[in-house]
Amino acid sequence: MSIVTVENVHKRFDDNEVLKGVSLNVETGQVVALLGRSGSGKSTLLRCLNGLEIIDSGRIEISGHTMDYEPKRLRALRQDVGIVFQSYNLFPHLSVAENIMLAPNLVKSLDKTKNRQLAEQVLDRIGLLDKIDAYPDKLSGGQQQRVAIARALAMEPRVMLFDEVTSALDPELTEEVLAVIEQLARDGMTMLLVTHEMNFARRVANMIVFMNEGRIWETGEPEAMFAHPQTPEFRAFTSRNVK
Ligand code: ADP
Ligand code: MG
């Protein structure tokens, strides 16, 4: 069953049409890697999926929510759709636990003990339980990004969106973040991720979406797509990016 349905979505910024009729279906448990050159519309598409950008036309349905930007329904939708960016934006004056519990506190009205348990649960999942009372500046960039992922998981989302979450990290820190995402994939989380890590995309994704100039240019299963690019654009992209 589809958990994400995108139908003929158009999005423009002034006279720059960034999404030119994007349609996409994602099944529950699928891992979709969004690839494409800078400026091809990948981030905009992800942002549209949790209502950070308002589409001009088309239809988005995600985890049973129809995107209509009505504030109350939008909040409900965002509880089901987590997003993590390149910049992790943890609050420096709050501990790891406090960062994680901030949003659940606002929307879930759990008591203190339950909240703490939730923080423990998600930190255990990303392997940072021992940092629960640490402050962000005591963590490496990779650990901070993992906490940002844990913070999104604390809302118990049904779909996770990742936008180049390792792009700001050194290679040795990239691996630990990719490992967390790979574990989520094994746990059956539905995910759409924008990444430059081609080997990771090939290994973890079960669907590749190659975007070019605001359109889904080519899509398919990783092995077949990388072995036999169907378009000159994807062929050029892989020859530049796959070693
Ligand atoms: P990608 O993530 O594939 O690099 P983006 O979705 O970020 O691409 O950007 C696609 C195009 O939309 C670019 O030309 C970018 O300059 C433009 N764009 C993105 N966000 C905005 C915005 N908030 N205002 C104006 N233009 C934007
Ligand atoms: Mg981007």
CATH code assigned at 194: 3.40.50.300
Domain region containing 198? 2-90+159-241
Proximal ligand: closest to the CA of 41: 1
In a domain, 209, yes or no: yes
Ligand 1 binding pocket includes 18 (Cβ within 6 Å): yes
DSSP symbol at 228: S
Ligand 1 binding pocket includes 113 (Cβ within 6 Å): no
CA of 41 relative to ligand 2 center, distance in Å = 7
Best residue for ligand 1 mutational test, from 22, 34, 43 (most atoms within 8 Å of Cβ): 43
In a domain, 199, yes or no: yes
pLDDT given for residue 103 in this prediction: 85
Nearest protein Cα to ligand 1, atom 23: 13
CA distances from 203 to 97, 159, 217, 221 (A): 32, 20, 21, 11
In a domain, 228, yes or no: yes
pLDDT given for residue 138 in this prediction: 96
CB contact at 8 A, 128 and 96: yes
pLDDT given for residue 243 in this prediction: 59
pLDDT given for residue 62 in this prediction: 97
pLDDT given for residue 108 in this prediction: 75
Low-confidence ranges of the chain (pLDDT < 50): none
Structure token pair of residue 212? 């070019």
CA of 133 relative to ligand 1 center, distance in Å = 37
In a domain, 185, yes or no: yes
CB contact at 8 A, 82 and 159: yes
In a domain, 10, yes or no: yes
In a domain, 144, yes or no: no
Ligand 1 binding pocket includes 20 (Cβ within 6 Å): no
Give the count of domains, the chain.
Answer: 1
Q: What is the pLDDT of residues 81-125, one digit of tens each?
A: 999 999 988 999 999 999 999 988 877 777 888 889 999 999 999
Q: Which pTM value belongs to this model?
A: 0.95
Ligand 1 binding pocket includes 36 (Cβ within 6 Å): yes
In a domain, 98, yes or no: no
In a domain, 153, yes or no: no
Query: What whole-number percentage of the chain has pLDDT above 70?
Result: 99
